[in-house]
Structure 1
Amino acid sequence: MEMSVIFSTYNSEEWLEKVIIGFSVQTFRNFEIIIADDGSRETTKQLIDRLKTEIDIPIIHVWQEDNGFQKSQILNKAILASTSEYLIFTDGDCIPRQDFVEVHNNFREKGYFLSGGYFKLPMDISKAITKEDIVHQRCFDINWLKQNGLPSSYKNIKFTSKGLMSKLLNFLTPTNASWNGHNSSGWKKDLIAINGFNQEMQYGGQDRELGERLFNLGLKSKQIRYSAICVHLDHKRGYVNEETWKKNHAIRKNTRDNKVVKTPIGIDSN
């Protein structure tokens, strides 16, 4: 495999199936899917086992026992399970456009990581998207989205910008090219060098903190938010709490202030 696509999931079979279908119709084919499963129930495994027989992209299912929100740990285990030298990270609630993997392949470069974004859909459209809508790419068609209730917004330009226009928007956007867990990629050797994700961190900023350590390692980043497109399916976030945010903020501040490169509790803890 030339690349590995890694994304996490937890008891969300409906969204997970839509995401896997999205990766099954990619224009670039030489990649594997690694599902980082943070303790899902048996029905998730049954879904994955079925989809393994229905699509021609290899799927590796990495599971750990449910011990609360431990996304950083399961992502590190997924990194270890990957068989390629280049890793794309997204989420189990983000459907990729059919050129998503191809864009990451085209833009990748030694000494850099890639920073993309997502387009957040409301719950009614998230539920309405069918397998056929993904296979035929209707869920990335601005006219179809508007017909299904998407309001007008300047953000909608993500669906219509192509070629030189998308590259120009990548250059002009004021958004920082940070490591975003829903749409970023980098070289496996660089992620190993910084010891992967900090397993002391739960929800809130663990992706950005990893990117900050990549910067401390000496890497640069490229902005691809208008080139690598994915739509984010809506969901509740019951795992958010103020105490965790404060702890994660302190870890990120320490990473920046002290130019931390290698997290003490990361890949090598697994």
Structure 2
Amino acid sequence: MTKISQDISLIITTYNNPAFLELILKSILSQRLMPLEVIIADDGSTYETRVLIDSYRKFFSVPLIHSWIPDEGFRVAKSRNKAIARAKGNYIVIIDGDIVVNKYFISDHNALKKIGYFVTGSRARLKEEATINHCQNKDERFDLFSKGLTRRLVMLRIPYAHKFIKGHSGLKNARSCHMAFWKDDFINVNGFEEDFEGWGFEDSEFVQRLYNNGLKRKNAKLMAPAVHLYHKESNTDNAINNRRILEETINSHKKKATKGILQYLDSSITNAIK
């Protein structure tokens, strides 16, 4: 019988890409340790995504929750905040809707979690043709030797050697496409900043506020392997304005988002952390 974590809620962001989402859901079904729940943070997908999620519920031994917001542009911060507000786990693992995970993904994050720290993970990259093939075949399986992979060394899983590799620090490669943190820490910084418009720097700004609150970073090197499926780059029209928000957070040592998760939480929780 597959074990279920009593601590970890897994959050998956998605937007109108059921082919990718299906591969991700299949990879979660193969976990050696299942999360307490899986919450899909949906930034306004159409009916096809809802049908897919509904069809997969019967295969899951844990709740598969669809947290949907209307499509009003790129609002991944809001979709994540609302999903995490619903989470019952006290530890949150988040992945983007283009990340397929190894069967030890959740168990590795369970081993990596530590009070006072957040975790950032790496991912191998799958080329366009290979991504198309895996989607057509509904094949979620990847290993070090899979065709079409770049950065394939990320697929190495050597837990006992993890402690000998420090990895990146600061904001370098701190991406919310593969990240984990305590829910209390997330609430304490007021989650993701919803003042960002469009793609760019919302994850770096979130990480900077974690640093501003005294948290330290761990890297999941040689653990929690994952694969990034190929897709066209996001629109970066708002990147300059978003970079300005990040720089303001760095320069002012800002600790809490102006508009974040607190608006979705019970008042007793928000009053307790003010």
Same fold (TM over 0.5): yes
Asked whether the equivalents of residues 8 and 36 of structure 2 are also in contact (C-alpha less than 8 Å), the reply is yes
1:63 matches 2:68? yes
Specify the code of the residue in structure 2 equivalent to 1:253.
E
Asked whether the equivalents of residues 118 and 182 of structure 1 are also in contact (C-alpha less than 8 Å), the reply is no
What is the TM-score when the length of structure 1 is the normalising length?
0.89
> Hey, what's the Cα distance between the residues in 1 that align with 2:240 and 2:115?
34
Aligned to 2:254: 260
Residues 1:161 and 1:84: Cα distance change in structure 2 (over 3 Å): closer
Aligned to 1:190: 185
Displacement of 1:95 in angstroms is 0.3
> Hey, what's the Cα distance between the residues in 2 that align with 1:261 and 1:42?
38
Displacement of 1:183 in angstroms is 1.1
Residues 1:158 and 1:175: Cα distance change in structure 2 (over 3 Å): farther
Number of paired residues?
A: 256
Structure 1: stretches of 5+ with no match in the other structure: none
> Identity across aligned pairs (percent)?
30
Aligned to 1:230: 226
Aligned to 2:269: none
> Hey, what's the Cα distance between the residues in 2 that align with 1:97 and 1:188?
23
> Hey, what's the Cα distance between the residues in 1 that align with 2:168 and 2:42?
34
Specify the code of the residue in structure 2 equivalent to 1:227.
M
Asked whether the equivalents of residues 195 and 262 of structure 1 are also in contact (C-alpha less than 8 Å), the reply is yes
> Hey, what's the Cα distance between the residues in 1 that align with 2:234 and 2:20?
17
Residues 1:210 and 1:238: Cα distance change in structure 2 (over 3 Å): closer
- The DSSP-based 3-state class of the residue aligned with 1:185 is strand
RMSD (Å), alpha carbons:
1.9
Asked whether the equivalents of residues 177 and 221 of structure 1 are also in contact (C-alpha less than 8 Å), the reply is no
- The DSSP-based 3-state class of the residue aligned with 1:89 is strand
Equivalences for residues 138-217 of structure 1 within 5 A:
139-140=142-143, 142-143=144-145, 145=146, 148-150=147-149, 155-168=151-164, 170-171=165-166, 173-174=167-168, 176=170, 179-201=174-196, 202-217=198-213
Specify the code of the residue in structure 2 equivalent to 1:269.
Q
Equivalences for residues 1-270 of structure 1 within 5 A:
1-129=6-134, 133-134=139-140, 137=141, 139-140=142-143, 142-143=144-145, 145=146, 148-150=147-149, 155-168=151-164, 170-171=165-166, 173-174=167-168, 176=170, 179-201=174-196, 202-241=198-237, 244-270=238-264
Displacement of 1:7 in angstroms is 1.6
Residues 1:238 and 1:159: Cα distance change in structure 2 (over 3 Å): closer
> Hey, what's the Cα distance between the residues in 1 that align with 2:86 and 2:122?
25
Residues 1:240 and 1:177: Cα distance change in structure 2 (over 3 Å): closer
What is the TM-score when the length of structure 2 is the normalising length?
0.87
Asked whether the equivalents of residues 157 and 224 of structure 2 are also in contact (C-alpha less than 8 Å), the reply is no
Q: Higher mean Cα deviation, 45-54 or 223-232?
A: 223-232
> Hey, what's the Cα distance between the residues in 2 that align with 1:175 and 1:127?
34
Asked whether the equivalents of residues 9 and 38 of structure 1 are also in contact (C-alpha less than 8 Å), the reply is yes
Residues 1:260 and 1:177: Cα distance change in structure 2 (over 3 Å): closer
> Hey, what's the Cα distance between the residues in 2 that align with 1:174 and 1:187?
20
Specify the code of the residue in structure 2 equivalent to 1:63.
W
> Hey, what's the Cα distance between the residues in 2 that align with 1:70 and 1:13?
18
> Hey, what's the Cα distance between the residues in 2 that align with 1:233 and 1:30?
22
Displacement of 1:125 in angstroms is 1.1
Displacement of 1:175 in angstroms is 6.1
Structure 2: stretches of 5+ with no match in the other structure: 1-5, 265-274
Residues 1:14 and 1:109: Cα distance change in structure 2 (over 3 Å): same
Task: Answer 1 or 2: which has greater helix percent.
Answer: 1
